Amino acid sequence: MKALLSVFRKEGIVELAKTLTKAGIDLVSTGGTLREIASAGIEVAQVSELTGFPELLDGRVKTLHPKVHAGILARRDSPEHMAELAGRAIESIDVIVVNLYPFEDKLQDASATLSDMLENIDIGGPTLLRAAAKNFPSVVVLVDPQDYGWVAEHFVEGTLTQEQRRVLAAKAFQHVALYDTLITNWLSEPVSDDFRNEITFAFRKSSDLRYGENPHQRAALYTSVPFSSGVVGATQLHGKDLSFNNLLDADAAWQAASDFPEETVAVVKHTNTCGIASHPDIAEAYRRAHAGDPTSAYGGIVAFNRPVTAAAAEAMRGVFYEVVIAPDFDEAALLTLQKRRGLRVLKMGSSHQVQGIGQSLRHIRGGVLLQDADHIHEDTSNWSVATLSKPNPTQFDDLVFAWRVAKHIKSNAIVLVKDKALIGMGAGQPNRLISVHLALKAAGDRAQGCVLASDAFFPFADGVELAVNGGVKAVIQPGGSIRDSEVVDTANSAGISMVTTGVRHFLH
């Protein structure tokens, strides 16, 4: 039996080589892998001795040779294949151990040149892996150093099963698929941001989760490759492992808080922003966010877009939260929060500060939906005042704030804001009138003099009528309804101002 070993990551390769030799397997290798094995006193032959050719083109061509790939691909149960190997003096290769050039690392190297990137696209390695995996009934393929130990033991004992070989083959093909996806995305990135006809996604398992949305559902967390930003990269400073629902809500809370340039705190429950406020004092921002809906805040997620101070941590005392997430925590704040056994504390760090994403992905049965991310439109110069009355400066600031908030609440979303704090909202309702009713009910007496944001246009004037009767003094909405004139007339009759943005912010 013969094994070909060619790895970039050398960990564990010497121990594996020793065990394969012990099992009576001859070793063939290339370049740095050969030197690593030979330096341990293990007998190993050069691939060039097998092929009769030296390495070519600065090592670009080493294993791309019929004597290598025929030895891998020959079906051992085919007398014709084996006779052809014998007739051409080609030895069969029964074990392939390969891991690939570090293209993923180069993607994250800001100094990498075009030449660096191209030289780190492995050709021989993926070809070896694919060939071996195709012929897995006869050839064992190893791509992950974590598998060296148990596979080597089975070699010594002669107990490696067909099912185990198949698992290793699937792992090899998956590894090559992820590798090729990274290369494809890198090549495509500077050329076009269009939606390609064919697309694959690269994710790597980060951890198993206790369960999914419900205890009867299995779940796991996968991280995008290469990783850029997001809650999955946060450092957990305290608390038990995050659950599936914790991660969903933490992501929603972090996105909401991060969309605001000023000091902002968001409270999220079931992915809906139920409390959010901006204030120069982050502790006061928290108090105002919590006051938006104290009942819903219980058991929720709190996100700060600035470091948590001792005063902010103290302000949270007495309220049960699942997760607190922030760029950082003052030492005193962390000590206070770590006294709460049920609380998970996540530090995002400066590298995870406000960052937009280019596209968002949603799974549906039989496929996925891919769209551009719904980024905030900063240019208010495109907004129009549709009414005779114009919002005063304080109202306008609150309208800008409310418009940002509406983006993070499930449609049909209605948001009531006063002094840059959410005081009531209606979310996820089948009609906008119910959302207005729920928002006013949540706000109660606080609704007097507030502003309202609607994530989409009012199809009828009844929503504005209800808002006016509840105390709303200014409205922001996209406009575009066939009944816009009726909606605006209702606002004019009530003497309130209405701003139209021309942009919708549905969140399904």
How confident is the model over 231-278, as pLDDT tens digits? 888 999 999 999 999 999 999 999 999 989 999 999 999 999 999 999
Average pLDDT over residues 46-72: 78
Yes or no: say if 390 and 402 are a contact pair by the CB < 8 Å rule: no
Q: Which amino acid is at 383?
A: W
Question: How many structural domains comprise the chain?
Answer: 3
CATH number of the domain at 255, please. Answer: 3.40.140.20
CATH number of the domain at 62, please. Answer: 3.40.50.1380
Catalytic residue among 134, 154, 238, 377: 134
Query: Is the pLDDT at 478 greater than 80, yes or no?
Result: yes
**Does any domain span residue 331?**
yes
Would you state the pLDDT for residue 190? 64
Low-confidence winner among 99-103, 194-198, 348-352, 387-391 (lowest mean pLDDT): 348-352
Are residues 127 and 262 both part of a single domain? no
Catalytic residue among 81, 171, 270, 377: 270
Q: What is the DSSP string of 338-394?
A: TT-TT-EEEE--GGGSS---SEEEEEETTEEEEEE-------GGG-EE-SSSPPPHH
**Of residues 303 and 379, more confidently modeled:** 303
Are residues 426 and 339 both part of a single domain? no
Are residues 396 and 321 both part of a single domain? no
**Does any domain span residue 24?**
yes
Are residues 297 and 390 both part of a single domain? no
Yes or no: say if 12 and 36 are a contact pair by the CB < 8 Å rule: no
Are residues 9 and 63 both part of a single domain? yes
CA distance 305 to 255: 9
Q: Is 134 annotated as catalytic?
A: yes
Average pLDDT over residues 275-283: 97
How confident is the model over 285-329, as pLDDT tens digits? 999 999 999 999 999 999 999 999 999 999 999 999 999 999 999
Are residues 153 and 19 both part of a single domain? yes
How confident is the model over 127-139, as pLDDT tens digits? 999 999 999 999 9
- The parent domain of residue 268 ranges over 234-352
Are residues 66 and 173 both part of a single domain? yes
Can you give the pTM of this predicted structure? 0.84
**Does any domain span residue 304?**
yes
Are residues 41 and 136 both part of a single domain? yes
Would you state the pLDDT for residue 303? 97
Are residues 344 and 409 both part of a single domain? no
CA distance 412 to 458: 10
Average pLDDT over residues 37-57: 82
Q: Is 270 annotated as catalytic?
A: yes
Are residues 41 and 143 both part of a single domain? yes
Are residues 42 and 143 both part of a single domain? yes
Are residues 391 and 347 both part of a single domain? no
Q: At 115, is the pLDDT very low, low, confident or very high (cuts 50, 70, 90)?
A: confident
